[in-house]
């Protein structure tokens, strides 16, 4: 969802409850650490041309490990790591990147170099596939007898008389090396906070999730202790993937831990997207936003920027439905840099009244001179794609056999489809995305839309899996012929979209009956699909329901779990989507 703001704005005088923050001559350090989400699997080629340029205002010290390297973790960081400009290529490979690019954009707006050689530094230590139990444990975890038995103590390392896991140890080393390099150049440094992107690998395993909440609390506590600041801000980013057994439990834990300490901060990511080709890692645009949001959270502690312009747009929300309005605004500052600022709303809007309204906000900063502005809210009859499907309750219910209900809306500019699925055995396997139908067929529960405005030869096949992976196959392509090369979404020929899948309970449980179903929302624009008259749309649907009667383990590639298609079609022939008589006119569904 684009942050959409507009209306009047003003700066107000310092408030005694908001202490003024002074600019300083220190170099501001932000720590970025965690698993593959922090390391980065977004492709450099998916960046805009401007985003591919080096960021000369912000430096980085980066080290870490690929997943195979975890088999032999070095006892020290790499030799010869030096400060350099933030730029693409600091991801899991030189062709990939992580949140550091978005972090860099917002850090530049906070601390432009001007005539200085250094002004802000990202310290990045990350490792793909790493866990608290094996790699990231810290001193307090080892000292807690209720969880220490589940830690891999064979990898204990010691630094400054503190026992830690091997990756925690190397992170501490990299922090020390960064401070030493800055000191050798004559700079005094200050650590402004840490950003932790972590949890998806742990969420696959029972033992890991048994200790995860305590482990996360201890990791933040011990990192603060190591850097000598018990009040250091610690940003926890929300896990994005649906593909782990405990994805939902992980998100609950992250929110809970963030709420326990006033210096823990939380970045919600439910409106962001994975890569177009796999369901685990943030895509390029979303990775950039993630990093920007993380710094917006830290900026609430020391934001000396003056907003000169809010990028003016409007946000559209549904009638009679409570929604979460944007947490951040995109702004231009008096120093001519752009970034995100966190806001607090000081007024509300009437959700029962169609049309444009205005809400007021203030930029959330503990410094003085806060910024007040307003946002235009357009209350509309169209749904709002945020994973919450309560606005569809007044729409016509279309029964998907005994599996649930499907709702359709013909919007002004695009098609909305939503569903509530009753499935007690959800599969969201995300490991085989490089084969055939992005690895989804026979692997994951999958909702399928067949859409045409003429005949079946001209039908689009639109699929949204429980793993939250969207595929849009061109006219006439069947799933037996589906390949990544034919996925219009991956090819960036489908650009105006919104979608969200919310799984409930556990996923990928071999014995089944541990899930509580799923709900989904999907929006596709008419222009992307070449539709000039929405009244010509014809649709039919299927839910590919994966079951596991033989209790096949998730990682067992030698066997295939059976799948049963549940259809919502007008006819009852064996040809299914290949028979135009099975398609509903859109007027019959809305």
Once rounded to an integer, what is the mean pLDDT over residues 193-213?
97
β-sheet bridge partners, residue 356: 378
Instruction: Indicate whether 15 belongs to any domain.
Output: no
Residue 328 sits in the same domain as residue 361: yes
The predicted structure's pLDDT at residue 376: 95
Per-residue confidence band for 281, with pLDDT thresholds at 50, 70 and 90: very high
Cα angle for residues 547, 552, 553 (degrees, 5° grid): 120
Distance between CA atoms of residues 349 and 373, nearest Å: 15
Give residue-wise pLDDT tens across range 486-534: 899 989 999 999 999 999 999 999 988 899 999 999 999 999 999 999 9
Residue 458 has pLDDT above 70, yes or no: yes
**Over the chain, what is the mean pLDDT?**
91
- 133, 324 in Cβ contact below 8 A? no
Q: How far is CA 149 from CA 137, 143, 158, 366, 394, in A?
A: 12, 10, 19, 41, 52
Domains of the chain: total: 3
Q: What is the CATH number of the domain that holds 503?
A: 2.60.40
Instruction: Indicate whether 355 belongs to any domain.
Output: yes
Q: How far is CA 481 from CA 71, 485, 579, in A?
A: 38, 10, 18
3-state secondary structure string across 286-352: HHHHHHHHHHHHHHCCCCCCCEEEECECEEEEECCCCCCCCCEEEEEECCCCEEEEEEEECCCCCCC
Q: What is the CATH number of the domain that holds 239?
A: 3.40.50.1110
Give residue-wise pLDDT tens across range 401-457: 999 999 999 999 999 999 999 999 999 976 666 667 777 877 899 999 999 999 999
The predicted structure's pLDDT at residue 18: 36
Residue 215 has pLDDT above 50, yes or no: yes
The predicted structure's pLDDT at residue 481: 87
Once rounded to an integer, what is the mean pLDDT over residues 94-105?
98
Lowest mean pLDDT among 23-27, 35-39, 120-124, 134-138: 23-27
Distance between CA atoms of residues 9 and 244, nearest Å: 44
Instruction: Indicate whether 121 belongs to any domain.
Output: yes
The predicted structure's pLDDT at residue 96: 97
The predicted structure's pLDDT at residue 489: 92
Q: How far is CA 484 from CA 218, 275, 282, 439, 470, in A?
A: 42, 13, 18, 10, 11
Give residue-wise pLDDT tens across range 320-355: 999 999 999 999 999 999 999 999 999 999 999 999
- 419, 409 in Cβ contact below 8 A? no
Instruction: Indicate whether 408 belongs to any domain.
Output: yes
Residue 463 sits in the same domain as residue 522: yes
Instruction: Indicate whether 162 belongs to any domain.
Output: no
The predicted structure's pLDDT at residue 561: 83
Domain boundary residue among 284, 302, 320?
302
Instruction: Indicate whether 144 belongs to any domain.
Output: no
Distance between CA atoms of residues 223 and 207, nearest Å: 23
Distance between CA atoms of residues 420 and 17, nearest Å: 47
Q: In what order do the strands lie in the sheet with 264-267?
A: 84-86, 55-65, 120-127, 27-34, 189-197, 234-237, 264-267
Residue 319 sits in the same domain as residue 283: no
Once rounded to an integer, what is the mean pLDDT over residues 264-288?
94
Residue 2 has pLDDT above 90, yes or no: no
What are the φ and ψ backbone dihedral angles of 289, each rounded to 5 degrees? Answer: -65, -40
Q: What is the CATH number of the domain that holds 375?
A: 2.60.40.10
Nearest to 563 by CA among 502, 489, 479, 487: 479
- 87, 59 in Cβ contact below 8 A? no
- 35, 29 in Cβ contact below 8 A? no
Residue 560 has pLDDT above 90, yes or no: no
β-sheet bridge partners, residue 373: 9, 361
Domain boundary residue among 380, 409, 438?
380
H/E segment holding residue 40:
none
E-state strands within 17-156: 27-34, 42-43, 55-65, 84-86, 96-97, 120-127
Instruction: Indicate whether 69 belongs to any domain.
Output: yes
- 464, 499 in Cβ contact below 8 A? yes
Residue 228 sits in the same domain as residue 360: no
The predicted structure's pLDDT at residue 511: 87
Residue 162 has pLDDT above 80, yes or no: yes
The predicted structure's pLDDT at residue 103: 98
The predicted structure's pLDDT at residue 482: 85
Per-residue confidence band for 484, with pLDDT thresholds at 50, 70 and 90: confident
Residue 356 sits in the same domain as residue 427: no
Give residue-wise pLDDT tens across range 294-309: 999 999 998 888 899 9
Residue 248 sits in the same domain as residue 338: no
| Domain assignment of residue 327, given as a range | 308-380
Residue 182 sits in the same domain as residue 255: yes
The predicted structure's pLDDT at residue 555: 73
The predicted structure's pLDDT at residue 91: 97
The predicted structure's pLDDT at residue 294: 98
Residue 463 sits in the same domain as residue 581: yes
- 534, 410 in Cβ contact below 8 A? yes
Once rounded to an integer, what is the mean pLDDT over residues 173-195?
97
Give residue-wise pLDDT tens across range 24-83: 889 999 999 999 999 999 999 999 999 999 999 999 999 999 999 999 999 999 999 999
Residue 296 sits in the same domain as residue 316: no
H/E segment holding residue 407:
strand 404-410
- 385, 522 in Cβ contact below 8 A? yes
- 387, 270 in Cβ contact below 8 A? yes
The predicted structure's pLDDT at residue 432: 66
H/E segment holding residue 266:
strand 264-267
Residue 175 sits in the same domain as residue 198: yes
Instruction: Indicate whether 159 belongs to any domain.
Output: no
- 400, 392 in Cβ contact below 8 A? no
Q: How far is CA 156 from CA 36, 45, 478, in A?
A: 22, 39, 52
Bigger pLDDT: 367 vs 176: 176
Residue 121 sits in the same domain as residue 231: yes
Query: What pTM was estimated for this model as a whole?
Result: 0.93
Distance between CA atoms of residues 340 and 51, nearest Å: 16
If 0-12 CB within 10 Å is exposed, 13-18 middle and 19+ buried, where does residue 530 land? exposed
The predicted structure's pLDDT at residue 302: 84
Q: Are strands 234-237 and 189-197 parallel, antiparallel or unpaired?
A: parallel
Domain boundary residue among 249, 284, 302?
302
Residue 318 sits in the same domain as residue 424: no
Bigger pLDDT: 244 vs 311: 244
């Amino acid at each position: 969802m684009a942050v959409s703001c507009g209306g009047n704005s003003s700066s107000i005088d310092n408030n005694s409850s908001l202490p003024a923050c002074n600019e300083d001559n220190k170099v501001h350090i932000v720590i970025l650490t965690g698993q593959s989400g922090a390391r980065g699997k977004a492709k450099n080629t998916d960046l805009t041309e401007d985003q591919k340029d080096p960021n000369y205002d912000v430096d980085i010290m980066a080290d870490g490990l690929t997943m195979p390297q975890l088999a032999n973790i070095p006892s020290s960081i790499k030799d010869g790591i030096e400060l350099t400009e933030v730029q693409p290529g600091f991801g899991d490979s030189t062709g990939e990147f992580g949140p550091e690019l978005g972090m860099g954009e917002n850090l530049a707006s906070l601390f432009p170099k001007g005539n200085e050689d250094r002004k802000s530094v990202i310290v990045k230590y990350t490792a793909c596939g790493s866990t608290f139990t094996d790699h990231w444990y810290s001193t307090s975890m080892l000292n807690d007898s209720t969880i220490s038995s589940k830690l891999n103590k064979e990898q204990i390392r010691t630094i400054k008389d503190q026992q830690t896991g091997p990756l925690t140890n190397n992170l501490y080393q990299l922090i020390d090396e960064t401070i030493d390099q800055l000191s050798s150049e004559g700079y005094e440094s200050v650590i402004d906070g840490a950003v932790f992107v972590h949890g998806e690998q742990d969420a696959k395993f029972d033992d890991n999730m048994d200790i995860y909440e305590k482990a996360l609390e201890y990791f933040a506590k011990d990192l603060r202790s190591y850097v000598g600041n018990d009040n250091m801000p610690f940003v926890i980013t929300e896990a994005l993937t649906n593909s782990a057994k405990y994805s939902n439990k992980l998100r609950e834990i992250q929110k809970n831990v963030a709420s326990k300490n006033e210096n823990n901060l939380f970045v919600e990511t439910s409106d962001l997207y994975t890569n177009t080709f796999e369901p685990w890692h943030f895509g390029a645009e979303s990775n950039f936003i993630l990093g920007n949001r993380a710094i917006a959270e830290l900026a609430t502690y020391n934001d000396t920027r003056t907003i000169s312009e809010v990028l003016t747009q409007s946000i559209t929300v549904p009638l009679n439905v409570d929604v979460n309005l944007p947490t951040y605004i995109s702004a231009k500052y008096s120093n001519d840099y752009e970034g995100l600022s966190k806001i607090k709303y000081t007024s509300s809007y009437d959700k029962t009244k169609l049309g444009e309204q205005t809400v007021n906000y203030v930029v959330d900063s503990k410094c003085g001179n806060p910024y007040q502005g307003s946002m235009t809210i357009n209350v509309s009859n169209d749904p709002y794609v945020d994973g919450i499907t309560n606005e569809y309750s007044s729409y016509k219910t279309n029964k998907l056999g005994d599996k649930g209900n499907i709702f359709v809306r013909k919007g002004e500019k695009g098609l909305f489809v939503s569903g509530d699925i009753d499935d007690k055995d959800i599969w969201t396997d995300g490991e085989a995305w490089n084969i055939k139908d992005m690895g989804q067929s026979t692997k994951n529960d999958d909702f399928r839309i067949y859409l045409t405005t003429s005949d079946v030869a001209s039908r689009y096949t639109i699929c949204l899996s429980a793993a939250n992976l969207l595929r849009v196959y061109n006219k006439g392509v069947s799933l037996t012929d589906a390949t990544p090369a034919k996925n219009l979404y991956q090819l960036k020929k489908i650009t105006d979209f919104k979608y969200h899948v919310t799984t409930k309970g556990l996923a990928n449980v071999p014995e089944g009956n541990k899930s509580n179903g799923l709900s989904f929302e999907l929006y596709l624009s008419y222009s992307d699909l070449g539709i000039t008259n929405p009244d010509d749309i014809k649709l039919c649907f299927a839910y590919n329901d994966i079951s596991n009667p033989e209790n096949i383990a998730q990682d067992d590639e030698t066997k295939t779990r059976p799948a049963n298609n549940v259809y919502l079609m007008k006819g009852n022939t064996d040809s299914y989507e290949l028979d135009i008589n099975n398609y509903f006119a859109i007027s019959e569904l809305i």
